[in-house]
Every structure is written in C-alpha cells, then in structure tokens.
Amino acid sequence: MIRAQVIVRPRLSIFDPQGDAVCRAIQHLGVANLKQAHVGKCIELELDGDDIEAARQKLDAICKDLLSNPVIEDYVLTLTPANGK
Amino acid sequence: MRWAVLQFPASNCDQDALHVLKEVLGQDADYVWHKETSLDGVDAIVLPGGFSYGDYLRCGAIARFSPVMNAVKAAAAAGKTVLGICNGFQILCESGLLPGVLVRNASLHFRCEYLPVKVENATTRFTGEYKTGQVLRLPIAHGEGHYVADEATLDSLFANKQVLFTYCNAEGKNTPESNPNGSQRHIAGICNRAGNVLGLMPHPERASEKILGSDDGLGLFLSLLKSQNA
C-alpha cells in the first residue's frame, strides 16, 4: 500500500482572498503580529501496490491536470509506503 | 443554426439558455448530456452556468474531463462557436480553451445583481450587434468570477482585442467600485485568439427579454445569428 499526500497552495503572487480573511480573523483574535495567511488544500490518497516511483509519475501528472491549476497554484506531492489497514 | 446546450451534473442555467434560443429566437436547440461524445452537425455550443460537480476542487476543474469536452475542443478547433457563461467560462478556462482562471471573488461575497458591462470590441461574431464602448445592463451571479492571469497574458488579451466585456460604472468607466469581484483589469469576458470561443461571467441569457428587467443580452445571440447567416 502507498499513501500519497498532495498539498495544493495558492501562488504567493496571486491574491488569496480566503487567506486574507483568515489572516484578519486571527489578528482579530489577538495575534497582532500575524503577517500573512494562505489557505490551500490537502488531498490524501491511498493506492494498492508498492512501486512508489511508478505511482509518483502517475500522480504527478494528475496533480498537474486535475488537483492543481498551475496558473494559480503550486503543489507538493509526498508518497510513503504504508502497511495494510 | 443548430445549437447544443450542454448539461453537466449541477448545471442550472441550461433551461434559461434553451428557453432564449428556442422560444425567444426560434432556433433549433437541444440539450446535450455531458456523457455524449459527439457534437456533429452542431453550429454553436453553449456551456451554461451552474455549479458543475459541486465546484469541487476548483470551479470547472472536474467538468473539463467530461466526455463531451473532447467534442467541444474539436468543434472549437474547427472554428465553430463556443459560448461559456459563468460556470461555462470557468470550464473553458480550466480546459485550456481560454487563458487564465477564475478564482474566489476578492470580497469573498457571492454577488447577484445587475451591473453595467462595457462592450470593448464590437467587431467579433459575439458582439457585432453592439457598438464598441456601449454600456449594457447585465446580471451577474457568482462567487468565483475573479479573473486572474499573468501580466503577459493580460497584455496580449488586450493587444489582440480578445477582451470583449469589462465591468464599468454607468458612464462606462472602469472604476475600482465598479469591479464586482476583483477581476484583473476589470475583465468580464474574453474570447480566444481565433474569435470563436467566448467566456463571460455576466448572464446574457438572463437578460434577453424586457419582462425580466433587461434585454441587453439578446444582442449577443443576435450577433451570432447574423454572423452565421452572413
């Protein structure tokens, strides 16, 4: 079994209204020295098999085509071997 | 002229679009379910508004992989008319048929209202019945209409007159207050370089009968009919 985690983040050059709203909320709750917040997504996947490199190649393409939009987002794909449930 | 109005799961402006085409304009128009693979014999394709696939991941991100989208791409490449309204615009951007992407409104608010929208280029098949600089009154209804692209893309969109509609005030000025969603350079609608694929956030199909408050959107459909018959 392989576990994969995809973190999708808005590019820093793109205005992130959700991050901005979250930042202001946190500041309002008393963290006055908070400078920035960015809101992304965490997508967790489980695959059968143990060929991590083959899985990485396939999922990398999926990250580019579906899970992120390279115009506005970056992603980090992490794969780890996992024992069965 | 034969029209296809695509239906994705959670499209919700498909009936409005079909109503305008069939009942207001007397056109030969039908729904096409997103699992169809052929659009043979169709002259124009409408990707309607809605929340395809619940807007999961990103608006339009999953719909772009619907089987019918291969036929849409082929039709676009063959020069046929492709019109994406609201969620349809988002799908066209995600599928790469139009540049850029639509993200969450800068205000975070869902905006549902009539707004002034300026025609930036009245020399296309979509806008021939308007005048360049004309200010239309069109409704918007979206939470993710904030158009984003890199500076080079924005420059080339304007240089090639691919920006067909911008948000403006009643006098036609692109003021910060008249931008409902934070769209870069006030962009409300763009076409591809070839001029046969348009995406726009305002809803012309909801503004095609006076009884509904405005018929300023009808000109877009009339422009297409005229260019098809020319």
What is the band of B71 on the pLDDT scale with cuts at 50, 70, 90?
Answer: very high
Rounded CA separation A14/A9 (Å): 10
Q: What is the pLDDT of residue A83?
A: 75
Mutate to test the interface with B, among A69, A73, A74, A75 (most CBs of B within 10 A): A69
pLDDT of B77-118, one tens digit each?
Answer: 999 999 999 999 999 999 999 999 999 999 999 999 999 999
- Residues of chain A short of pLDDT 50, as ranges, are none
* Model-wide pTM > 0.90: yes
The catalytically annotated residue of B59, B86, B93, B191 is: B86
Please give the single-letter amino acid code of residue B47: L
Contact B65 A71 (CB under 8 A): no
Q: Do B103 and A21 touch (CB under 8 A)?
A: no
**CB nearest A14 (choices: B62, B65, B148):** B148
Catalogue the long-range contacts made by B70-77 (C-beta closer than 8 Å, 24 or more residues apart): B70/B37, B71/B36, B71/B37, B71/B38, B71/B39, B72/B6, B72/B39, B72/B45, B72/B47, B72/B97, B73/B97, B74/B39, B75/B39, B75/B42, B75/B45, B76/B192, B76/B196, B76/B197
Q: Cα angle at B46 between B21 and B31, to 5 degrees?
A: 70
- Could you identify the residue written with the tokens 């240089």? B159
User: Chain A residue with minimal CA distance to B56?
Assistant: A67
Contact A14 B103 (CB under 8 A): yes
ipTM: 0.84
